[in-house]
């Protein structure tokens, strides 16, 4: 059996294209679906013949031949059914995989501002959970086109061959059941939509309870949350009942309506047998065909409802099914030297909102360390983020003479390494947290961040699992693993946002020495509250509360900024080697 190939597709927001994409599989479904549903009619026909041959006293050998033929036909018919089912499953699996691939690709190409929006993340998680429901609807539809549509046509044609009048009179109840189902579909859609919405909300609440269990527990919120959770569950149950009851409770009613024609069949057919127009076997064949057809007709009514239900899911997925995009991974960057030049840089997170930083000017080159400091919420992290080029900025950020926004996203990722404000550890091993899935020797980088001693105490060494968000590591260990990740992916420019906030002063000093010695082919931008080592770095950017910026060497800032000199002196005089003290007197 050939392995399923998952490939992107064109116009993924048109549902019919999923059938077009699987042309070969759909062709096989058509072949097996048609042959299964056409040959099914041979079952009741041969059953009737068998009854007649017994009733009219045919020879034993001809009865046995008929019985064998009947059994063989049923066997072949079921084999065709097996293949039809197999290829329909294959179509469903492939469609589900394609939809997931297209949604995943959409996530990969969302802008950072869109991803920052919490709602986008939630909506996409829900959309992915809707894929299965939607594909299930498509599978049912494909199945029923044959098992209901083709089969009903086959039965009706055969019944017409047996008797035109009885057929026309007995099937007039079928459209009534269908019209009733059609009328109910809007109501079913409404209830189904409400149920799906509630179900996603409950999934969010569950994720939240798991992710933030510690916070809720220590704040004594768990029992209160449990009560709320039960209320939500009850509401979900209520909506589930409304959504399902109407659809399922209607099934027997559709069934009864479609079956009403049996009265006509028995009356007119029975009369025809008495008058010698039909044999008992022909009558039995006709009754079997009518019963099967009426049963299928009532299923068709249910099919309309289930297609309606899966449309709820399709509508939720559709906005995320956009054309497949491929990230450009060609790179044209200068690896021989590094020159960063920032001129009149201003930045705001949203258009029209006030600037977080204004008119920042500085230059830096390979081998330098530039410190960024300032009071709380003065925009230190924002300056680091703006240098990544992920958001639009005003002014100029040039790397090696070329504007940052003119580099491709991939080129930027190859020029700049970044350690964010939070460690953002994955629930994985130390090794995977640092390499992010690539293969490299991390021994030296672990030494550079002074983690080698910590590692010796860990039984599983680099394969130690860090727990959810690094919970099994101390704050300082988490910070150093995150720093090691940024350094392992060493680029021309390394931006480190507060890497030492959870690290003691001695370790900080050692790491700074390692950075100076082992990363002098990069330009390092070091964002920090702690100024202890700032007298050993090349230049400092001080972001003031009034959005003015002081820029210069340590000695220049000591002279020109009262704020800088006061804090530096406080951090380096009494208690200067004490972390608690430094926190109190930090900028
Ligand atoms: N993603 C964001 N969207 C909108 N506003 C933001 C975003 N990130 C930060 N801000 C705002 O920007 C301002 C500066 O925040 P930033 O984190 O850059 O300051 P900071 O100097 O690094 O702070 P701290 O000293 O507390 O680390 C704050 O008022 C904050 O609310």
Out of 2-11, 78-87, 142-151, pick the least confident.
Answer: 2-11
Q: How far is the CA of 95 from the centre of ligand 1 (A)?
A: 43
**What's the average model confidence in pLDDT over 2-25?**
89
The band of 120, judged by pLDDT with boundaries at 50, 70 and 90, is low
pLDDT > 90? residue 550? yes
What is the value of ipTM here, to two decimals? 0.97
544 lines ligand 1 (CB under 6 A): no
Distance CA 454, CA 9 (A): 49
In this structure, the number of other CB atoms found within 10 A of the CB of residue 332 comes to 8
CB 541 within 8 A of CB 555: no
**pLDDT of the residue at 102:** 93
DSSP code of 355?
A: P
The band of 128, judged by pLDDT with boundaries at 50, 70 and 90, is confident
pTM score, two decimals? 0.73
The alpha carbon dihedral of 421, 422, 423, 428 has a sign of negative
**pLDDT of the residue at 233:** 95
Q: Which of 346, 352, 382 to mutate to test the pocket of ligand 1 (most atoms within 8 A of CB)?
A: 382
264-286 pLDDT tens trace: 999 999 999 999 999 999 999 99
Helical packing angle, 222-259 and 174-211, nearest 10°: 170
Residues 6+ apart with CB under 8 A from 247: 188, 302, 305, 306, 309
Tokens of 87: 């290829």
**pLDDT of the residue at 98:** 94
Helical packing angle, 60-108 and 23-39, nearest 10°: 150
- Position in ligand 1 atom list of the atom nearest CA 383: 18
Q: Which of 355, 376, 380 to mutate to test the pocket of ligand 1 (most atoms within 8 A of CB)?
A: 380
**pLDDT of the residue at 150:** 87
CATH number of 339-585, picked from 3.90.1300.10, 3.40.50.300, 3.40.50.2300, 2.30.30.360: 3.40.50.300
Count of helix runs (H) and strand runs (E) in the chain: 23, 10
Q: Parallel, antiparallel, or unpaired for β 357-365 and 416-419?
A: unpaired
The band of 235, judged by pLDDT with boundaries at 50, 70 and 90, is very high
**What's the average model confidence in pLDDT over 41-58?**
87
162-199 pLDDT tens trace: 999 999 999 998 888 878 877 777 787 788 889 888 98
Q: How far is the CA of 359 from the centre of ligand 1 (A)?
A: 17
In this structure, the number of other CB atoms found within 10 A of the CB of residue 265 comes to 24
pLDDT > 60? residue 24? yes
288-309 pLDDT tens trace: 999 999 888 877 766 776 777 7
**pLDDT of the residue at 570:** 82
380 lines ligand 1 (CB under 6 A): yes
Phi-psi region of 526 (alpha: psi -120 to 50; beta: other; left: phi over 0): beta
DSSP track, 237-281: HHHHHHHHHHHHHHHHHHHHHHHTTHHHHHHHHHHHHHTTSS-HH
- Position in ligand 1 atom list of the atom nearest CA 527: 22
**pLDDT of the residue at 573:** 67
**CA-closest candidate to residue 251, choices 168, 318, 184:** 184
**pLDDT of the residue at 403:** 96
pLDDT over 70 percentage in the chain: 94
Q: How far is the CA of 263 from the centre of ligand 1 (A)?
A: 78
**pLDDT of the residue at 1:** 54
Domain map (residue ranges) of the chain: 16-320, 339-585
Q: How far is the CA of 376 from the centre of ligand 1 (A)?
A: 9
Mean pLDDT over the full length of the chain: 88
Which residue would you say has higher pLDDT here, 518 or 579? Answer: 518
CB 27 within 8 A of CB 117: no
382 lines ligand 1 (CB under 6 A): yes
For residue 347, what are the β-bridge partners? 357
Classify each residue of 239-257 as buried b or exposed e, where b means 16 or more C-beta atoms within 10 Å of its C-beta: bbebbeebbeebeeebbeb
384 lines ligand 1 (CB under 6 A): no
- Pick the residue whose CA is nearest to atom 16 on ligand 1: 379
**pLDDT of the residue at 351:** 66
pLDDT > 90? residue 468? no
**pLDDT of the residue at 124:** 67
409-454 pLDDT tens trace: 899 999 999 999 888 898 899 999 999 988 889 999 999 999 998 9
Burial of 10 per CB tally in 10 Å (0-12, 13-18, 19+) = exposed
Distance CA 163, CA 278 (A): 10
DSSP track, 125-165: HHHHHHHHHHHHHHHHHHHHIIIIIIHHHHHHHHHHHH-HH
Rounded to whole angstroms, what are the CA distances from 122 to 119, 125, 264, 368, 422? 5, 5, 56, 42, 21
506-523 pLDDT tens trace: 899 999 999 999 999 999
Which residue would you say has higher pLDDT here, 473 or 246? Answer: 473
CB 84 within 8 A of CB 150: no
Q: Which fold has domain 16-320?
A: ABC transporter transmembrane region fold (1.20.1560)
- Pick the residue whose CA is nearest to atom 20 on ligand 1: 377
374 lines ligand 1 (CB under 6 A): yes
**pLDDT of the residue at 296:** 84
pLDDT > 90? residue 465? yes
- Position in ligand 1 atom list of the atom nearest CA 382: 18
């Amino acid at each position: 059996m050939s392995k399923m190939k998952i490939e992107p597709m064109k116009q993924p927001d048109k549902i019919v294209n999923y059938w077009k994409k699987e042309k070969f599989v759909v062709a096989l479904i058509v072949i097996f679906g048609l042959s299964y549903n056409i040959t099914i009619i041979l079952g009741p026909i041969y059953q009737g013949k068998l009854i007649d041959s017994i009733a009219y006293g045919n020879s034993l050998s001809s009865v046995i031949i008929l019985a064998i033929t009947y059994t063989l036909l049923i066997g072949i018919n079921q084999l065709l059914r097996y293949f039809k089912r197999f290829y329909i499953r294959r179509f469903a699996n492939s469609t589900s995989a394609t939809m997931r691939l297209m949604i995943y690709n959409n996530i990969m190409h969302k802008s950072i501002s869109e991803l920052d929006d919490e709602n986008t993340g939630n909506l996409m998680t829900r959309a992915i959970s809707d894929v299965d429901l939607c594909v299930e609807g498509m599978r049912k539809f494909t199945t029923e086109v044959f098992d209901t549509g083709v089969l009903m046509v086959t039965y009706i044609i055969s019944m017409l061959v047996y008797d035109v009048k009885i057929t026309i009179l007995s099937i007039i109840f079928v459209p009534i059941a269908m019209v009733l189902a059609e009328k109910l579909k809007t109501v079913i859609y409404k209830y189904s939509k409400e149920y799906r919405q509630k179900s996603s909300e409950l999934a969010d609440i569950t994720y939240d309870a798991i992710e933030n269990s510690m916070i809720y527990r220590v704040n004594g919120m768990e029992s209160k949350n449990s009560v709320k959770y039960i209320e939500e569950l009850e509401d979900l149950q209520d909506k589930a009942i409304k959504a399902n009851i109407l659809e399922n409770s209607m099934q027997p009613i559709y069934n009864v309506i479609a079956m009403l024609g049996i009265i006509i069949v028995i009356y007119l057919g029975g009369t025809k047998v008495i008058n010698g127009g039909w044999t008992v076997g022909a009558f039995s064949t006709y009754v079997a065909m009518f019963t099967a057809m009426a049963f299928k007709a009532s299923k068709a009514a249910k099919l309309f409802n289930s297609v309606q239900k899966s449309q709820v899911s399709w509508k939720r997925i559709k906005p995320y099914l956009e054309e497949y995009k491929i990230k450009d991974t060609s790179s044209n960057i200068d690896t021989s030297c590094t020159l960063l030049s920032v001129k009149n840089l201003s930045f705001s997170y949203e258009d029209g909102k006030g600037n977080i930083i204004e008119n920042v000017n500085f230059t830096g080159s390979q081998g330098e360390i530039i410190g960024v400091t300032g009071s709380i919420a003065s925009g230190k992290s924002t300056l680091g983020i703006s240098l990544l080029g992920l958001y639009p900025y005003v002014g100029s950020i040039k790397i090696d003479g070329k504007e940052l926004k003119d580099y491709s996203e991939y080129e930027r990722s190859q020029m700049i390494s970044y350690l964010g404000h939070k460690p953002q550890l994955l629930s994985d091993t130390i090794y995977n947290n640092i390499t992010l899935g690539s293969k490299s020797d991390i021994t030296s980088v672990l030494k550079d961040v002074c983690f080698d001693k910590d590692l010796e105490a860990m039984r599983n060494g680099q394969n130690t699992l860090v727990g959810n968000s690094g919970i099994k590591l101390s704050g300082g260990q988490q910070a150093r693993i995150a720093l090691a990740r940024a350094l392992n992916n060493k680029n021309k420019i390394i931006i480190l946002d507060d890497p030492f906030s959870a690290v003691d002063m001695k370790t900080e000093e050692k790491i700074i020495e390692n950075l100076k010695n082992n990363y002098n082919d990069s330009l390092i931008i070091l964002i920090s509250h702690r100024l202890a080592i700032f007298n050993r770095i090349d230049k400092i950017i001080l972001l003031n509360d009034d959005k003015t910026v002081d820029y210069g060497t340590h000695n220049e800032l000591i002279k020109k900024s009262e704020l800088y000199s006061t804090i530096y002196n406080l951090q380096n005089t009494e208690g200067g080697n004490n972390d608690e003290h430094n926190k109190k007197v930090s900028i």
